[in-house]
């Protein structure tokens, strides 16, 4: 009985490692794949600068 439970534990750990490996592989594919299709490379993906609007003067 002890030998069988040891094999079950190894099998379960291998399954967990395989699922984790597939998850890492999918994450790498998502990270390194292009965001959108650009036929002529006219508008590549770039970070957007976030700034607050300039304050406006109020008449009062």
pLDDT in tens, 7-52: 999 999 999 999 999 999 999 998 888 766 656 666 666 777 778 7
**CA distance linking residue 16 with residue 24, whole number of Å:** 12
Q: In the structure, what pLDDT confidence band is assigned to residue 53 with cuts at 50, 70 and 90?
A: confident
The pTM assigned to this predicted structure is 0.52
26 with 35: CB under 8 angstroms?
no
pLDDT at residue 23, as a whole number = 97
Q: What is the mean pLDDT of residues 54-58?
A: 76
pLDDT at residue 36, as a whole number = 66
């Amino acid at each position: 009985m002890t030998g069988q439970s040891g094999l079950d534990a190894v099998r379960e750990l291998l399954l967990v490692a395989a699922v984790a490996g597939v998850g890492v592989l999918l994450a790498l594919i998502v990270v390194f794949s292009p965001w959108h299709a650009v036929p002529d490379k006219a508008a590549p993906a770039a970070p957007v600068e976030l700034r607050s609007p300039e304050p406006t003067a109020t008449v009062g």
